[in-house]
Amino acid sequence: MNSDQKALEKEALESLVSMSAVPKFKGPIGRMIGWGDKCFLTLAVVALVAIAVTVLLQICSRLFLPFSIAWTEELSRYLFIYMVALSVGVVLRQNRNISVELFHHLLGPRVQAAVQVLLCALIGLFAFLVLPYAWQYAQNGAWQTSPTLHVPMLYIFFSTVVTFALLLVYSLLGCLEGIIAMCRSSASLQES
C-alpha cells in the first residue's frame, strides 16, 4: 500500500468522526500523552488476549477433561472489567465513545472545539464527583475475597477508581485541547 492510499484512508476515517477536527497536542507533551495512550491500550489488549485464552481454557476443560475449571469464568469477567477500565480514557481522547453526531459535521472548527470542551467538561465533572465514591466502593472489597480465585475484591473493585480517574484525566486533556483550538485562528484550524 503506497503513502497516497494510506493518506486517503486516514482522511476517510477522520471524516467519519467529525470531532477529529479538534487538533491534539503535539511536541513533547503530545508524545508523553501518546506514550500513555499506548501503555493503556497495550494493557487493555493484554487483558483481551487473556480473556480469549481463559475462555478457550474453559471450553477445552469442558470438552476434554472429566471436570470443568471453575475459576475461568470469574477470571474472564474480571479481565473484561479491567479491559474496559484501562481503555476508557483513550476512547474518550480519540472520540470513539458512543455519541450522536447528527449535526457535528455542519459545525465550524471553533464550534466543534467548543462542543468538545463542553462534553469533556461534563464527563470530567461527573468523574470528579463519582471518584471519591468509587474509592469508598473499592475499600469495601478489602475484607472480601472472590469466590473461586480467592483474590481480595479490593483489586477488582479498584477498577472503578481506575475508570473514573482516567476519565477525569482524559477529559481535562480534551478540555485543554478544545480551549486551545478555540483560541487559534480559523486558518490554523483548517490547516491542522
C-alpha 142/C-alpha 60 separation (Å) is 33
Q: How far is CA 3 from CA 10, 27, 99, 190, in A?
A: 10, 23, 31, 22
Strands (E), the chain: none
pLDDT for 16: 53
What's the whole-model pTM score?
A: 0.82
The grid cell for 24 is 491534539
pLDDT for 109: 84
What φ, ψ does residue 152 adopt, rounded to 5°?
A: -60, 130
Per-residue confidence in pLDDT tens, the chain, 192 aa: 577 777 766 665 555 555 566 788 889 999 999 999 999 999 999 999 999 999 999 999 989 988 888 899 999 999 999 999 999 999 999 887 776 666 777 788 888 889 889 999 999 999 999 999 999 999 998 889 999 999 999 999 999 999 999 999 999 999 999 999 988 855 454 554
Q: How far is CA 22 from CA 94, 99, 121, 122, in A?
A: 10, 16, 15, 18
Q: How far is CA 180 from CA 16, 31, 69, in A?
A: 23, 17, 53
Domain boundaries, the chain: 36-188
pLDDT for 174: 93
